[in-house]
Amino acid sequence: MSKSIDQVFVNAKQWLLSWLAGSPDWLIQVASILINVFMLLAVFLTLFALISVLERKILARMQNRYGPNRVGPFGLFQPIADGIKMLIKEDIVPARADKIVHFLAPVLIAAVAILTLAVIPYGRNMTPFTIDGGILFFFAVGSATELAVFMAGWASNNKFSMLGAMRAIAQMFSYELPLIITVLPVVMVVGSLMPDRIVSAQAGYTFGLVPRWFVFTPWGGVAFILFFVSGLVESNRTPFDVPEGESEIVAGHMTEYSGFKYATFFMAEYIGMFAVSGLSATLFLGGWHAAVRVLEIVPSYVWFFLKLSGLLFVYIWIRGTLPRTRIDQMMNFAWKFMLPMAFTCVIAAAVWHYAGRGLRGWLWSLFVIVMVYSALSILLDTRRKFGPRVYRFAE
């Protein structure tokens, strides 16, 4: 692979900064930060516009109907029409709402979602902001989402908004624990909180064929599934979009929002989905590393966005397949199954490491996971809870 193609964006940034040669260091650093921020916003806002129309088209094909096909060629200008519609819609604020907090809630939730994108490596030497505790920064900033949701529900001065916000926060807290705990095995094995080092630890191939991604280990595969499911909940996606019942009159903490403020919440959910998918690709799918040695000629950033696109397609696929769960089912699943399995992944990773990281460690790690999974299956006895219901009607 030509190094110039792989590093074309890095070289372009250096060329722009070369115009400031001889300037004070602080000015060059500010310019570098502004370039990174501009590129992040340009790439992911464009991706948001694309995914908003592609999701509707994919769901339409799954449901044997047409998707958006009126605005522009193949309906590709639909995001522009949606944006104009949201901008010109009347912004209605309840008379007794806290107007300042009501305004700040969508701004905060969008800012938090964008900040989480800053520490993900999108290619070789293409991490916008490289810091030692990148993973810690991701979750520390992301946890402010709960605060924004509470602000939206409380500032609306509406009992339904407040109840929806409380339900959303309870759901997010419950699934944030397995989300963070499933990251611990990767951090333990690599010995670093830097996303770049985590990606570097997954370089190479076993027997020259199988990439050394953590998802191909027993603990990594299970942790990846748990992380992905927790990401569905954190992104408020089907089948866990209980706070926002799309077929209901109210929309959880967003009930009293309209116009562009509602669109900002919508955008933040998608950007959060991009961030969780990007982090899962970084932690378990080798980041920007190629899946096959012969395809290393493909630029590293192309590989990353291919993996990101695959995960986003699974998000859409699940939305078009599964019905929404009940809140009690979702909370039971988090505390009684997800959390014990997340801790099991930590133990299995330790067994894999101390057994030599070879075939013996792979088998012992698998044994630990199978034993705990079997025990949970027996103890929880889901067949009784989710068995067929019998309805009795009065004659």
Query: What's the pLDDT score for residue 250?
Result: 66
Q: Are residues 61 and 178 in the same domain?
A: no
Name the nearest CA neighbour of 305 among 288, 291, 317: 288
Exposure string (b/e) for 248-273, b if CB count within 10 Å is 16 or more? Answer: eebbbbbbbbeebbbbbbbbbbbbbb
Query: What's the pLDDT score for residue 2?
Result: 62
Sequence letter at residue 362: W
- Please report, for residues 240, 326, 329, 382, 384, the alpha-carbon distance to residue 387 in angstroms, rounded to integers and kept in the order given: 21, 15, 13, 8, 5
**pTM as predicted:** 0.91
Residue 185: cis peptide before it, omega within 30 degrees of 0 = no
Calculate what percentage of the chain has a pLDDT beyond 90. 52
Q: What is the pLDDT of residues 183-208, one digit of tens each?
A: 999 999 999 999 999 999 999 888 77
pLDDT band at 311 (very low <50, low <70, confident <90, very high): very high
Q: How far is CA 125 from the centre of its chain?
A: 22
pLDDT band at 371 (very low <50, low <70, confident <90, very high): very high
In a domain, 394, yes or no: no
Query: What's the pLDDT score for residue 21?
Result: 81
Query: What's the pLDDT score for residue 200?
Result: 94
Q: Are residues 218 and 342 in the same domain?
A: yes
Is the separation of the CB atoms in 275 and 116 below 8 Å?
Answer: yes
In a domain, 204, yes or no: yes
Q: Are residues 72 and 101 in the same domain?
A: no
For residue 84, is pLDDT > 60?
A: yes
208 Cβ contact list (under 8 Å, min separation 6):
293
Query: What's the pLDDT score for residue 343?
Result: 95
In a domain, 391, yes or no: no
Which of 32, 51, 81 is the C-terminal boundary of a domain?
81
Rounded to whole angstroms, the Cα distance separating 325 from 240 reads 6
Rounded to whole angstroms, the Cα distance separating 158 from 96 reads 9
For residue 244, is pLDDT > 70?
A: no
Query: What's the pLDDT score for residue 380?
Result: 82
Q: Are residues 138 and 287 in the same domain?
A: yes
Three-state DSSP at 193 gives coil
Q: Are residues 77 and 145 in the same domain?
A: no
Q: Are residues 49 and 125 in the same domain?
A: no
Query: What's the pLDDT score for residue 322?
Result: 87
Rounded to whole angstroms, the Cα distance separating 221 from 215 reads 4
In a domain, 392, yes or no: no
Query: What's the pLDDT score for residue 237?
Result: 85
Q: What is the pLDDT of residues 89-145, one digit of tens each?
A: 888 888 888 999 999 999 999 999 999 999 999 999 899 988 888 999 999 998 889
Query: What's the pLDDT score for residue 122?
Result: 94
Query: What's the pLDDT score for residue 350?
Result: 94
Q: What average pLDDT does this structure show over 13-30?
A: 87
For the chain, give the mean pLDDT. Answer: 89
Q: What is the pLDDT of residues 139-181, one digit of tens each?
A: 999 888 999 999 999 998 888 888 888 888 888 889 999 999 9
Let me know the angle formed at the C-alpha of 190 by 291 and 362, rounded to the nearest 5 degrees: 70
Which of 81, 116, 136 is the C-terminal boundary of a domain?
81
Is the separation of the CB atoms in 182 and 227 below 8 Å?
Answer: yes
Q: Are residues 62 and 113 in the same domain?
A: no
Rounded to whole angstroms, the Cα distance separating 132 from 196 reads 10
Rounded to whole angstroms, the Cα distance separating 149 from 106 reads 8
Q: What is the pLDDT of residues 385-395, one digit of tens each?
A: 655 667 776 65
Let me know the angle formed at the C-alpha of 98 by 95 and 102, rounded to the nearest 5 degrees: 100
Torsion angle, alpha carbons of 91, 97, 99, 104, to 10: -90
* Torsion-angle region of 391 (φ positive above 0: left; ψ -120 to 50: alpha; else: beta): beta
In a domain, 390, yes or no: no
In a domain, 273, yes or no: yes
Q: Are residues 313 and 274 in the same domain?
A: yes
Is the separation of the CB atoms in 337 and 386 below 8 Å?
Answer: no
Burial (CB count within 10 angstroms: exposed 0-12, middle 13-18, buried 19+), residue 127 = buried
Q: Are residues 226 and 284 in the same domain?
A: yes
Q: Are residues 76 and 93 in the same domain?
A: no
Rounded to whole angstroms, the Cα distance separating 301 from 81 reads 30
Q: What share of the chain is helix, strand, coil (3-state, %, to 5)?
A: 70, 0, 30
Rounded to whole angstroms, the Cα distance separating 245 from 171 reads 14
Total domains present in the chain: 2
Q: In this structure, what are the phi and psi dihedrals at residue 206, rounded to the nearest 5 degrees? A: -85, 125
Query: What's the pLDDT score for residue 252?
Result: 78
Taking every pair of Cα atoms in the chain, the longest distance, rounded to a whole number of angstroms, is 90
* Residue range(s) defining the domain that contains residue 260: 89-385
Sequence letter at residue 112: V
57 Cβ contact list (under 8 Å, min separation 6):
67, 68, 75
| Residue 206 C-beta-side C-alpha neighbours within 13 Å | 11
Q: What average pLDDT does this structure show over 17-33?
A: 87
In a domain, 67, yes or no: yes
Query: What's the pLDDT score for residue 20?
Result: 85
Name the nearest CA neighbour of 198 among 137, 283, 300: 283
Name the nearest CA neighbour of 180 among 312, 353, 345: 345
Which of 81, 106, 137 is the C-terminal boundary of a domain?
81
Q: Are residues 64 and 109 in the same domain?
A: no
DSSP 310-372: HHHHHHHHHHTTPPPPPHHHHHHHIIIIIHHHHHHHHHHHHHHHHTTSSHHHHHHHHHHHHHH
Three-state DSSP at 184 gives helix
In a domain, 237, yes or no: yes
Q: Are residues 133 and 114 in the same domain?
A: yes
